[in-house]
Amino acid sequence: MSVRPTIRRNKIPDHRHCPICGLPMAVNADFCSEGCKKTNDEKVRRERRARNLSLILYIAVMVTLFIFLFVPLLLPR
């Protein structure tokens, strides 16, 4: 059985990476800079707007289908 020599490596300090640019940052920080925070806020705002527009479009399609499919069945002939 061979014995491998152990390689000593320098310990990397505790850190996280910025979710926007990927640069290392402090563990307790959310973003590495104000620019990345603003970029994230704009991204969240765009996603929220797109989700709301999708919901409005879905509701409009459902109401239209209900009107064309079920209302004629309820009207007397």
Q: pLDDT per residue over 4-57, tens digit each? A: 777 767 787 888 999 999 999 999 999 999 999 999 999 999 999 999 999 999
Please tell me the pTM assigned to this model: 0.66
Residue 2: per-residue pLDDT = 63
Residue 19: per-residue pLDDT = 94
Residue 4: per-residue pLDDT = 73
Cα 44 from Cα 67, distance rounded (Å): 35
The answer to whether the beta carbons of residues 45 and 37 sit under 8 Å apart is no
Kindly report the number of other CB atoms within 10 A of residue 39's CB atom.
16
Placement of tokens 């999708």 in the chain = 54
Q: How many CA atoms lie within 13 A of 49 on its CB side?
A: 6
DSSP letter at 14 equals P
